[in-house]
Amino acid sequence: MSGDQRVVVGVDGSEFSTTALRFAGRMASSLNAPLEVITCLGTSDLFLASHLPEERTASTEELEETAKRLVEQSLERAFGDARPERLTRQVKFGPPAKVLIEESKDAQLLVVGRRGQGGFLAQVMGSVSGACAAHAHCPVLVVGQDSRDGQPGE
C-alpha cells in the first residue's frame, strides 16, 4: 500500500468517534499516510440540531458550523496539541454510511467507532459501522471504547 493513500475516519462528535480518531491517527502515522477526518450531515441530523438554541430550525450553514465545532472538540480530546501533520477535515452532506463507503474507494483504511451519537446501547455495533464493515472498498477498523480509561476496548 502506498504511504500517500489516506486513512479515513468518520467522526460525529461522540466518545466512540473520538476513540476511533485516536486509533486512526496512530494508524496513519504507522502507515505514513495522510489522515482525513470526515463528518457527515444528513437531512435528519438531530444530534447537531440539539446543539443549537431551542425552537429554531437550523440552516445548512449552521449545521455545518456546528459539525466543524464538534470535530474540533473531538480533535482536541483525541490529540490535544499533538495533531497528526497531514490531517485534513471535511464536512460532507448525505447519509453517513453512504458517504463513508464512497470515501473508502480511494483509502487504504476506513476507521469508524463501534457506535455513534445516535446509537442504542444494547447494540453491539451501530448501523453506520455495520454498513461500512459490510460494504467499504478498503479494510475497515471498527473501534470500541473501554469506559474505564477511554481507550479502545474488545
User: Which ranges of 31-147 would DSSP assign to H, the alpha helix?
Assistant: 46-49, 60-79, 96-103, 127-135
Question: Does residue 95 carry a pLDDT above 80?
Answer: yes
Q: Report which of residues 35 and 50 the model is more confident about.
A: 35
- The per-residue pLDDT of the chain, averaged, comes to 80
Within 8 A by CB and 6+ apart from 152, the residues are 19, 22, 23, 143, 144, 145, 146
Say which amino acid occupies 147.
Answer: S
Strand order in 140-143's β-sheet? 87-93, 35-41, 6-10, 107-113, 140-143
Q: Which CATH number applies to 6-143?
A: 3.40.50.620
The region of weakest confidence among 8-12, 60-64, 114-118 is: 114-118
Tell which wins on pLDDT, 46 or 8: 8
pTM > 0.85: no
Q: What is the pLDDT of residue 28?
A: 96
